[in-house]
Amino acid sequence: MATFKYALRKKSNQSQIKTATTIYQGTIPFRSGKGRNQKYLIKILASIITFMIVSSYFSTNLFAQTLKGQKTSVVW
């Protein structure tokens, strides 16, 4: 039992070292939980930022058009 635990501990250490080296090289492995969470976080942040930029752009466009007295129309 003790040798089995030791083997498990050794294996986990090796996998941690492996993920650390892959992160250092710039490629986050999809298998590890940390890398997966990081990928989703980056995607969510990027989508939020793009949504904010697009919404602010459209709102400023509509605001400028209403100030000029033109019809408000969003052209896609």
Which amino acid, 72?
Answer: T
Residue 1: the pLDDT is 46
Quote the pTM value. 0.33
pLDDT digits (tens, 9 = 90+) for 34-74: 556 677 788 888 888 888 888 777 766 666 665 555 555 55
Measured on CA atoms in the order 35, 37, 38, 44, is the torsion positive or negative?
Answer: positive
Q: Counting every residue, how long is the chain? A: 76
pLDDT digits (tens, 9 = 90+) for 14-25: 555 555 555 555
